Every structure is written in structure tokens, then in C-alpha cells.
Amino acid sequence: MDPRTKIIYIVVSTTIAFLFFNVVIALLICLVNFVLVAWSTGANVVKNSIIKLLAIIMILNIVIHGFANPAGKTSVAIFGYLLSLPFFESMKWEGIYFGLVFGLRVLGLGYGALLLVSTTHPRDLINSLRKIGLPLKYGLMLTLSIQLIPQMSEEAKMILNAQRARGVRIKSSIDKFKALLPVLIPLTIGSLERMNTIAMSISARGYGAPIKPTELKEIKMGIKDYLVIFIIFISLILALYIRLTHGDLNVIENADSLRNLFSLPL
């Protein structure tokens, strides 16, 4: 599909997720985006490092809000024991709910961005951003930044393998932490050299010239793009109507505790 269609979908789905403070809606958007990523990129999506990072962010959101969110009232007790941490009060159900909603929002946005990056050629992404109205230099800067992330990840793995080949033991988390500095130094130097090469290539190709660049591949929207955009905006209008007539569907405001979560209508 046209990259502009994907960008519109990401913006609208994220807007809907932030319109409502309801865990079910945030979870639904997150699952839809995850299914789209898995469908587009294959079954190995679970092994993706970005997916793992988003999962860690999700867990941290739940833990931090569970212990530190001031909206917490109902303590979490397992077999009669309260979950607590030093210098913090006990974990609260309301805090867990807040962390779950915020975490699912971040997760849904991350899956949407991963869908755009993994299914769109950088050239098409630059052209689509330019057609939207973004200046060429900013679009190029964005796509180069996105491309450098997996390149740096692969280069870091190569450096670690080179260190292992030279007898460096990297088995535990402590060993990885000790090897962090020897990895960062060559990784930083390699990144600076790569950016210098990219800068010279950009200058040689005339980027930034005050003329309209010739496009090797013209990006055009098709019938399926317009159909998907129509469905997306219908969903946005429906979400805005529900938000104006029924509020943000916040369970916390409609119940004394989260024990009534599943008895409340959405």
C-alpha cells in the first residue's frame, strides 16, 4: 500500500488509543497492529529486538505505576501478603490499570511504527513524506536515522563476535556490562565514518538543490488505499462520537476499585 495510507493509519489508531482511557480499546489497537506486523514480516516477529524492547517498556510501565501512581487505592494482595518495595507503598490495582493503559498505548504506537518501517522502502517513505509537505532534508534525515538503528545493531553483534573470537568471555549479564565500553568505542567510530560517507554521497547526488528531483518510481494511491483511508476516518468519526457522548470510558472513575472491572459496560 501507499506509505501515506500507513502513516494515516498510524496517526489515527494512536489518536483513538489516546482518546479513551480504557484498557480494552488500547489492547484491541495493540493486537491489531501486532497482527499486521506479524502478517507482513513473518512469524519470526517475536524474535525482533524492538518487540522485546517494547515488552520491557510495557512491564516497566505497569510496575512503576503500580507502586508510584498517586491514583492507587486498592492494595494488591497475593495469598494474604501485600506486594511492596522498599521506600514505596504497596502495589495498587488502580496503578496497575494506569500502567497497563499507558503501556498498551506505547506498545500499539511502537507496533504501528514497526509496521511502517518494515514494509516500506526508504525511497518510497522519503517520497511520500515529501508529497505530504515535509521538506526533503527532514524526510531524508528521518529515514537515515531509521536505517542506522538496525545497522548499528548488526555492527554491535559483529564486534561482540570479534571479541569472543579473541578470547573475551561474554556469558552472563555482568560480562556483557563489562564489554559495553569496548563495544561502544568502535561502534561510535564506525558510525561517524559511515555518516561521513553518507554525507559525501548525498552531496555528490545533488541533494538540497533548488530544483524538483527526478523520481525513478512515482508513488500513487490506488483504489484500495482510498478504501482503507475511508474506513480509517469512519472509525475516527465513530470514536470521536463515543468520546463526546460517553466520555473516555475510564473504569477508575466509574468504580471504587478494579474488582468491578468486568461488571462495567464499555
N-term to C-term CA, the chain: 33
> If pLDDT is split at 50, 70 and 90, which confidence band does 44 have?
low
**Same domain for 116 and 144:** no
Q: Residues 5-22: pLDDT tens digits?
A: 999 999 999 999 999 888
Based on the fold, state whether residues 8 and 90 are members of the same structural domain.
Answer: yes
Residue 213 falls inside a structural domain: no
- For the entire predicted model, the pTM comes to 0.71
Listed residues 206, 236, 251: the one ending a domain: 206
Question: Do 234 and 113 fall into the same domain?
Answer: yes
User: Quick check: is 67 in a domain?
Assistant: yes
Q: Are residues 141 and 108 in the same domain?
A: no
Is residue 79 situated within a structural domain? Answer: yes
The total of structural domains in the chain comes to 2
pLDDT digits (tens, 9 = 90+) for 157-171: 788 788 778 776 766
Q: What is the pLDDT of residues 52-78, one digit of tens each?
A: 777 888 888 888 888 887 777 777 777
Report the distance separating Cα 154 and Cα 73, nearest Å: 46
pLDDT band at 229 (very low <50, low <70, confident <90, very high): very high
Do the domain assignments include residue 265? Answer: no
Determine the structural domain holding residue 239 and report its residue range: 1-120+220-259
Same domain, 4 and 85: yes
* CA proximity to 130, closest of 202, 206, 198, 214: 214
Q: Is residue 128 part of a domain?
A: no
Q: Determine, yes or no, domain membership for 129.
A: no
Residue 126 lies in a domain: no
Residue 266 maps to a domain:
no
Q: Where residue 266 falls among pLDDT bands split at 50, 70, 90?
A: very low
Please tell me whether residues 139 and 189 are part of one structural domain: yes
